Structure 1
Amino acid sequence: MASSSRRDDSAGTGEPESDDAAALSELVRRAQSIGTLTSAEESRLLERAALGDAASQDRLVAGHLDRVIRLAATRDAQGLSVPDLVQEGSIGLLEAVRTFAYSGETDFGDFADARIGAQIDAAIEAESAAVREGELLVAAATDYERAEIVLKRILHREPTPAELSEKLEWTLDRTAYVAQVVADARRRYDDELLAFIDPEAIDLDADDEDERTQLDG
């Protein structure tokens, strides 16, 4: 019953433990339950691991799981939980296990730390890049929707891709790509994207006047 209570409560406060915290607690428990490797045992396992022995590789990864958890916990990554980072770090650890014998390095701990950290940092950067790309796409979809509404009001018909491209100052390829994104979002009722595309918030009168001035000129 005590273990169940620990799973349900966070740090004994009576508050429910989050899924991420529960997963991290389980990882820590597993790391603590695994026996520590002696230097001699680690050396033997590294030699076997370099020859492709899967059991030795698994034992080394398990024996250094606490190292992965420690390095993952020091990273501040929005969008990635510590368990996510532990999973990425484990990939780096496995790489270290497989390549240490040929690396020319003498300290496996330092070598593993470098590989684990590099893998975690790469995952964080990839996640950040994906977030930035998503934000840019939402902004582009908003601009497209705005231009489409304004031109439709002025022309009294659906604007052509060329007209939208000129209005947005985009290439035809970019215009077509964003148009497809917006169309797909509409079909799927993608509230997460369309919440940022609010026709009611667009000042149509001001845009009409600007566009008419451009057309008259």
Structure 2
Amino acid sequence: MSHTFTLKSTSSEFSSTYYPPIELDPRYEYALGLIGLHTYNTIPNIRVGQNKFYYDNQVLTIPTGAYEVTDIEEFLQNSLAPNTANKNAVISLKPNNSTQQCEITSKFAIDFTKPDSIGEMLGFSKKVLQPNVRHVSDLRIRIIKVITIRVECSIVTEAYYDGRLSHTLFEFAPSVEPGFSINIEPKNIIYLPINTTPIDNISPISGPRRRFRRFSR
């Protein structure tokens, strides 16, 4: 006996309830494997609590999302100088890929002392940056791109992550930039033992939209 499940959601964490529950024959052992993941690379690295840009006693809120330094620069330039031809003269954020530091020049005073400021993400300790001066961050940039995505499912066992038992079905390195679609169909499906019967709920964890799963005897 085998079943194929398709689960959809717009959240990275969700569950699907089955009524009546799926009864598995206790005479057999069952396993579950991922046959497909279809989602978008929208895992945010800028979130509420670290997304404020304070300048000249004013504040901008950077929307939650997946950013690189150049994306933040573009947002700030479009917000602070929407009709200015030379936006770099208003504010400039440049990453130094060799030192992993950020260089900022702005015609505004920038306040990175606030607890929800984006300053720490850009590599700056809590300080006020004076206008019309080139500033180099004293720390490394902390805006990190996602390296690995783990697909987990609540009803499987015998997977280990960092030495601890986990529910990981599959993991992969995203090969597309933020905002683009991810379509994964493993060539060699890894089946892990199912840890419960009957099955009345499945809780996968991954990207914001997806299709899942199959288990078979």
Structure 1 length-normalised TM? 0.25
Please give the TM-score of this superposition, normalised by the length of structure 2: 0.25
Structure richer in strand, relative to its length: 2
Q: Of the two, which has the highest radius of gyration? A: 1
- Structure holding more helix per residue: 1
